[in-house]
Amino acid sequence: MGKKFSLFIVALLALNLLISPVSAEDLLKTDAIFGTPEIDAEKDDIWDGANVIKTERYVEGSDAAWAEVRTMWDEENLYVYAEVHDGSLSVKSENDWEQDSVEVFLDQNNAKSATFEDDDGQYRVNYENKQSYGGVASADNFTTATKTTDFGYVVEAAIKLASAASEGTVFGFDFQINDDKDDDGVRDAVIIWNDSSGQSFQNTSGFGELTLVKEAASDETPAAGEEGEKLPNTSTAMYNILALGLVSITLGGFVLFKMKKRTA
């Protein structure tokens, strides 16, 4: 095989690497800090140290309501404080999931099972504090408070855990917003933190991950590059840098080879 041809093949391969980035959705992760808030829909100071995650992945529709969500834990409960930005509030639909509402999905053994197991729950509450449930969720393990605000509404919730929680435990976790935008009783948009499949109510394999940590976060809003923020796909970025390097070296070599040939 000629030198020229081999160089050409290497360049082609490198180019191919460059234009086929990893396409799967990144698995989002966050840490819940340790503490015990009062469930009253008021943002007590204790929430200031919590990590903030945002619902930014569409399940359906566009221009959806969205939320900033904080999490906390103690031995008995997982706590969630969500500020939902929704310009027009509606509970017109007869279906709970089509009303302006939030849903927490929790997989307590993080088994990522394709169907709900005994530990998996779908905890839904609308902005008027009406609850509804899927899986292990029930009025017995879900305590909520809501209030409407100038930006939409707030939900504060406690989910009672099946067994005593401890530091380092990882739960499968997701947070969804249902939005009826024009008060016609039909859900127009659904947005979620991690799993955009629309299957979270029956399949836990797409949930994000939440780790129970002891220390409070140092910043209220994590900087880009820290957990809790949407990250660029760093593995893809690394991949591209490597591929770009390979292309440059190959092309450089090719040019040198040509020049040498010409001067020879």
Pick from 103, 156, 174, 180 the residue near ligand BGC by CB under 6 A.
103
Task: Decide whether 170 or 213 has the Cβ nearer to Ca ion.
Answer: 170
What is the CB neighbour count within 10 angstroms for residue 219?
12
Task: Decide whether 177 or 243 has the Cβ nearer to ligand BGC.
Answer: 177
Site track for ligand BGC across 17-56, x = CB under 6 A: ----------------------------------------
Q: Which does 109 bind (CB under 5 to 8 A by kind): ligand BGC, Ca ion, none?
A: Ca ion
Task: Decide whether 41 or 192 has the Cβ nearer to ligand BGC.
Answer: 192
Q: Which residues contact residue 179 at a Cβ distance below 8 angstroms, ignoring those fewer than 6 apart?
A: 61, 64, 65, 86, 100, 187, 188, 189, 190, 191
Supply the angle between the helices 3-18 and 234-263 in degrees, to the nearest 10.
160
What is the CB neighbour count within 10 angstroms for residue 89?
18
Among 218, 182, 17, 210, CA closest to 104: 210
Pick from 97, 216, 226, 236 the residue near ligand BGC by CB under 6 A.
97
Q: Which two tokens stand for residue 19?
A: 């234009």
Task: Provide, rounded to whole angstroms, the least separation between the CB of residue 29 and Ca ion.
Answer: 17
Task: Provide, rounded to whole angstroms, the least separation between the CB of residue 190 and ligand BGC.
Answer: 6
The kind and range of the H/E element at 135 are strand 131-135
Tell me whether residue 145 is exposed, middle or buried, using C-beta atoms within 10 angstroms of its C-beta: 0 to 12, 13 to 18, 19 or more: middle
Task: Decide whether 30 or 176 has the Cβ nearer to ligand BGC.
Answer: 176
Q: How many angstroms separate the CA atoms of 246 and 251, rounded?
A: 9
**Which residue's CB atom is positioned nearest to ligand BGC?**
201
Task: Decide whether 103 or 120 has the Cβ nearer to ligand BGC.
Answer: 103
Is 239 a binding residue for ligand BGC by CB under 6 A? The answer is no
Q: How many angstroms separate the CA atoms of 162 and 156, rounded?
A: 20
Is the distance from CB of 179 to CB of 190 less than 8 angstroms? yes
Is 134 a binding residue for ligand BGC by CB under 6 A? The answer is yes
Find tokens 């976060």 and name the residue: 217
Q: How many residues bind ligand BGC (CB under 6 A)?
A: 6
Q: Which two tokens stand for residue 46?
A: 């204790």
Task: Decide whether 91 or 213 has the Cβ nearer to ligand BGC.
Answer: 91
Is the distance from CB of 30 to CB of 162 less than 8 angstroms? no
Q: Which does 201 bind (CB under 5 to 8 A by kind): ligand BGC, Ca ion, none?
A: ligand BGC
Task: Provide, rounded to whole angstroms, the least separation between the CB of residue 69 and ligand BGC.
Answer: 16
Binding site for Ca ion (CB under 5 A): 86, 88, 100, 107, 109, 111, 117, 119-120, 179
Task: Decide whether 86 or 174 has the Cβ nearer to Ca ion.
Answer: 86
Task: Provide, rounded to whole angstroms, the least separation between the CB of residue 176 and ligand BGC.
Answer: 6
| 3-state secondary structure at position 146 | strand
State the residues that interact with ligand BGC by CB under 6 A. Answer: 97, 103, 134, 176, 190, 201
